[in-house]
């Protein structure tokens, strides 16, 4: 029925998409691991990063065309610090206080943030479906029978770089170790003289900086609307849940599994089945092994 | 007159144990709201109040789940959409719509019962996310599955509700009122009953509750399924009014957001909180309806501000004021003003 060699396409694309999904999952995983909070606004924050890049590359905001045209990948120089600062502010001003209010307060506040971001993006950029279209957006490598899009490779390489950087950062720097220590035991870290509130702020800010990279890669590969946030939140959560908490390499594997499910779902069935399969896997893994497949 | 009221109150206490001091205001409110369309209420108000009833219902149920049972559920849309779809599909097979609404609610309750077994084992955030995924799954199921087999509209997957034209705006208004009243009564009865006591114990500390002989699983299951049934009723009424259903809107998160907003703004764990919250959210909804998008934005900001400044909600904050200097000053001001007005009348 289907030629074995035709499966190579979805296989390679799935692995490459996995890089993007891992990038999206990384920020969620970091926040989840450090402060045990599922940031339900994560998907929206990633999309917000995409929109920042969209703004910088097209100059389009509030139906006006500003004379800006920056390469989306180059725009990282601006988007990353902006998202870092935004993350720091959200954690310092809102979430750190929420942790002292009650157990469900951070979750509800994250919901509020998600609402605010979604509707702000709707106001600024309308509900139209957009995508980042630099000149190389449709460039293709041809390797034998395979046609591989350049942007998929860019996303995958970006994911590998971020995995490496994040791992080295958490292992080697003082702040990285403080983050790991706080994730393991907040009280003990506090007693050891770590300013845990500040560590939380930095952790969230770093998660947002990673999400900025994720957002730009997302815009290069998929089309986006302000309301796509929840879809990417669930994908990110699936990545985290399959990869297991706190394991950065696991996150990469989780991303690749999600990517493969998506491309093969699209190959054998159709677009709707693709998403249904993805969500079903999340719920089944959650019900069967909430600590993750690769988690301990 | 007084004896009639106290007699009525005693009668209410006999029929609906647990309603207590709320029985008279509740009955009066329901009767007044039911009569209003008959005595020439403006048409726009029927729309306003319909929206208010729906907001109140979802807010009540979310406060039952999150405030009283300690379950952060994010799957109200699953119940709304499932019930709406059941009613719509059955309308093509000759089932009358009112019966379809009840059957839809039963389907939603059965769905809740079935998914509760795997979902219950998850704790805290895992539970919340699992429930968040459920409506998304159903959305794609209904995008793929075509149970009626007619050419569909709206993204290729929408159905018109057959026979919905036969119900007037006022009919639907009454149905919505009935659902909102039911949800309010259920909340009151549950919170004043042994079930509510057990749920409260679970919310405060589930281990302690379990070791004191509270059946944690069963009580949470009751709360979850009751909520699903009532939200299912609301879903049926909602799609009877819109006369049209499609997966993207049926399972989207808007109603869930609205429920959280109303419950939190009013006061999550406080009696009467969802009512006040629903009134505020409904007013915001219509006040800002001329500026599309700003209503949700404003609600998001209010949600964050309320949660950080008065996490017990507006009703809770007012309740806490009682006996403080501010409260006494306000009372004094009110009485002086009242005296002045009375004095004027005498002159």
pLDDT tens-digit series, residues B290-310 = 777 787 888 889 889 988 988
Q: Is residue A291 part of a domain?
A: no
Q: Give the model's pLDDT for residue B104.
A: 95
Mean pLDDT confidence for B168-195: 90
Q: Report the C-alpha gap between B112 and B99 in whole angstroms.
A: 20
Question: b/e for A261-270, b at 16 or more Cβ within 10 A?
Answer: bbbbbbbeee
Q: Is residue A136 part of a domain?
A: yes
| Residue B341 clears pLDDT 80, i.e. is over it | no
Mean pLDDT value across chain A: 88
Residues of A in contact with B297 (CB under 8 A): 115-116, 119-120, 123
pTM > 0.90: yes or no: no
Q: Coil, strand, or helix at residue B75? A: coil
Length of chain A: 296
CA distance, residue A276 to nearest chain B CA (Å): 6
Q: Is residue A197 part of a domain?
A: yes
Q: Do B144 and A273 touch (CB under 8 A)?
A: yes
Q: Is residue A253 part of a domain?
A: no
Using CA atoms of A90, A94, A97, A99 in order, give the dihedral in degrees to the nearest 10: -80
Range of the domain at A46: 4-226
Return all residues near B51 (Cβ < 8 A) that are at least 6 apart.
B282, B285, B286
Q: Is residue A233 part of a domain?
A: no
Residue of B nearest to A277 (CA): B137
Q: Is residue A48 part of a domain?
A: yes
Return all residues near B13 (Cβ < 8 A) that are at least 6 apart.
B19, B20, B23
> What does the longest C-alpha to C-alpha distance in chain A come to?
65
Return all residues near A20 (Cβ < 8 A) that are at least 6 apart.
A155, A156, A159, A214, A217, A218, A221, A255, A259
Query: What confidence category does residue A208 fall into, taking pLDDT thresholds of 50, 70 and 90?
Result: very high
Q: Which residues pair with B244 in a beta bridge?
A: B160
Reference B236, options B48, B95, B59; nearest CA is: B95
What is the DSSP secondary-structure string of A93-158?
Answer: IIIHHHHHH-SSHHHHHHHHHHHHHHHHHHHHH-S--B----GGGG-EEEETTEEEEHHHHHHHHH
Q: Give the model's pLDDT for residue B209.
A: 86
| Contact by Cβ (8 Å): B76, B61 | yes
Q: Which residue has the tokens 């144990």?
A: B17
| Contact by Cβ (8 Å): A80, A213 | yes
pLDDT tens-digit series, residues B55-97 = 999 999 999 998 888 888 999 999 999 999 999 999 988 889 9
- Hey, of A28, A37, A119, which one would you mutate to test binding to chain B, going by the most B CBs within 10 A of its CB? A119
| Residue B345 clears pLDDT 60, i.e. is over it | no
Structural domains in chain A (count) = 1
Residue B36 has what DSSP assignment?
A: G
Token pair belonging to B209? 């509750």
Token pair belonging to B155? 């993204």
pLDDT tens-digit series, residues B105-162 = 999 999 999 999 988 888 777 888 889 899 999 998 988 888 777 766 555 568 888 8
| Contact by Cβ (8 Å): A280, B139 | no
> What does the longest C-alpha to C-alpha distance in chain B come to?
77
CB count within 10 Å of CB B191 equals 19
Q: Does A272 touch chain B (CB under 8 A)?
A: yes
Q: Coil, strand, or helix at residue A65? A: strand
Mean pLDDT confidence for A255-271: 88
Element (H or E) spanning B144, and its range?
helix B124-144
Q: Report the C-alpha gap between B245 and A142 in whole angstroms.
A: 45
Instruction: Locate the domains of chain B by residue range.
Output: 19-278, 313-347
Q: Report the C-alpha gap between B72 and B296 in whole angstroms.
A: 21
Q: Do A107 and B128 touch (CB under 8 A)?
A: yes
Q: Give the model's pLDDT for residue B179.
A: 95
Return all residues near A10 (Cβ < 8 A) that are at least 6 apart.
A260, A263, A264, A266, A267
Query: What confidence category does residue B316 fall into, taking pLDDT thresholds of 50, 70 and 90?
Result: confident
Q: Looking at domain B19-278, does it have CATH number 1.10.3470?
A: yes
Q: Is residue A202 part of a domain?
A: yes
Of B129, B253, B293, the CB nearest to A122: B293
Query: What confidence category does residue B197 fall into, taking pLDDT thresholds of 50, 70 and 90?
Result: confident
Q: Give the model's pLDDT for residue B347.
A: 47
Angle (deg, nearest 10), helices A271-288 and A229-243? 40
CA distance, residue A1 to nearest chain B CA (Å): 24
| Residue A52 clears pLDDT 60, i.e. is over it | yes
Helices (H) and strands (E) in chain B, counts: 16, 2
H helices of A222-270, in order, are 229-243, 248-268
Interface of B with A (CB under 8 A): 66, 72, 118-119, 121-122, 124-126, 128-130, 132-134, 136-137, 140-141, 143-144, 253, 257, 260, 264, 293-294, 296-297, 299-301, 303-304, 307-308, 311
| Contact by Cβ (8 Å): A238, A286 | no
Residue A59 has what DSSP assignment?
A: -
Q: Do B137 and A283 touch (CB under 8 A)?
A: yes
Q: How far apart are the first and last CA of chain B?
A: 31
pLDDT tens-digit series, residues A87-135 = 999 999 999 888 888 878 888 899 899 999 999 999 898 888 898 888 8
Question: b/e for A119-130, b at 16 or more Cβ within 10 A?
Answer: bbbbbebeeeeb
Q: Are strands A146-149 and B159-160 parallel, antiparallel or unpaired?
A: unpaired
Q: Give the model's pLDDT for residue A1.
A: 46
Query: To the nearest whole percent, how much of chain A has pLDDT over 90?
Result: 43
Reference A243, options A35, A24, A25; nearest CA is: A25
Q: Is residue A52 part of a domain?
A: yes
């Amino acid at each position: 029925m289907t030629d074995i060699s035709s499966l190579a396409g979805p296989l390679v694309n799935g692995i490459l998409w996995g890089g993007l999904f891992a990038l999206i999952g990384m920020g969620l995983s970091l926040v989840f691991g450090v402060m045990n909070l599922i940031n339900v606004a994560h998907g929206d924050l990633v999309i917000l990063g995409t929109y920042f890049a969209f703004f910088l590359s097209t100059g389009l905001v509030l139906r006006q065309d500003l004379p800006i045209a920056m390469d989306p990948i180059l725009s990282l120089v601006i988007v990353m610090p902006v998202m870092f600062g935004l993350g720091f502010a959200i954690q310092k001003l809102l979430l750190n206080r929420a942790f002292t209010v009650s157990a469900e307060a951070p979750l509800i506040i994250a919901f509020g943030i998600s609402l605010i971001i979604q509707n702000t993006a709707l106001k600024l950029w309308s509900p139209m479906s957009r995508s980042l279209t630099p000149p190389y957006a449709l460039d293709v490598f041809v390797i034998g029978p395979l046609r591989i899009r350049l942007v998929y490779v860019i996303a995958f390489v970006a994911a590998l770089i971020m995995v490496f950087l994040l791992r080295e950062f958490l292992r080697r720097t003082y702040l990285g170790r403080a983050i790991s220590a706080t994730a393991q035991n907040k009280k003990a870290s506090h007693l050891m003289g770590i300013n845990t509130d500040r560590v939380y702020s930095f952790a969230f800010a770093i998660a947002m900086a990673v999400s900025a990279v994720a957002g730009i890669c997302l815009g290069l590969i998929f089309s986006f609307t302000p309301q796509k946030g929840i879809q990417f939140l669930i994908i990110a959560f699936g990545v985290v849940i399959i990869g297991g908490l706190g394991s950065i390499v696991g996150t990469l594997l989780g991303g690749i599994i999600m990517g493969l499910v998506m491309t093969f779902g699209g190959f054998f069935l159709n677009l709707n089945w693709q998403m249904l399969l993805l969500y079903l896997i999340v719920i089944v893994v959650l019900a069967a092994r909430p600590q993750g497949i690769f988690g301990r | 007159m007084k004896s009639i009221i106290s007699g009525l109150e005693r009668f209410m206490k006999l029929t609906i144990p647990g309603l207590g001091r709320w029985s008279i205001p509740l009955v009066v409110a329901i009767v007044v709201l039911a009569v209003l369309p008959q005595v020439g209420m403006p048409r726009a108000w029927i729309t306003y109040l319909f929206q208010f009833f729906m907001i109140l219902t979802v807010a009540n149920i979310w406060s039952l789940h999150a405030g009283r049972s300690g379950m952060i559920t994010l799957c109200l849309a699953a119940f709304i959409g499932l019930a709406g779809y059941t009613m719509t599909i059955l309308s093509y097979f000759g089932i009358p719509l009112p019966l379809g609404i009840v059957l839809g609610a039963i389907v939603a309750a059965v769905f809740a019962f079935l998914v509760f077994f795997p979902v219950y084992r998850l704790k805290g955030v895992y539970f919340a996310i699992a429930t968040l995924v459920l409506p998304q799954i159903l959305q794609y199921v209904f995008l793929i599955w075509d149970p009626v087999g007619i050419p569909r509209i709206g993204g290729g997957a929408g159905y018109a509700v057959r026979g919905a034209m036969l119900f007037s705006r006022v009919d639907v208004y009454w149905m919505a009122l009935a659902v909102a009243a039911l949800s309010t009564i259920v909340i009151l009865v549950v919170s004043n009953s042994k079930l509510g006591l057990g749920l409260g114990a679970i919310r405060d500390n589930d281990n302690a509750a379990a070791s004191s002989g509270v059946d944690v699983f069963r009580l949470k299951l009751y709360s979850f399924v009751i909520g699903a049934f009532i939200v299912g009723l609301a879903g049926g009424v909602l799609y009877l009014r819109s006369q049209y259903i499609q997966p993207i809107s049926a399972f989207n998160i808007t109603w869930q957001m609205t429920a959280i907003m109303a419950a939190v703004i009013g006061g999550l764990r406080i009696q009467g909180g969802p009512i006040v919250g629903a009134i505020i959210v409904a007013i915001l909804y219509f006040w800002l309806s001329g500026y599309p998008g700003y209503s949700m934005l404003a609600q998001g900001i209010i949600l964050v501000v309320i949660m950080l400044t008065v996490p017990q909600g507006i009703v809770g904050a007012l309740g806490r004021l009682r006996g403080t200097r501010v409260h006494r000053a306000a009372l004094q001001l009110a009485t002086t003003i009242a005296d002045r007005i009375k004095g004027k009348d005498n002159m």
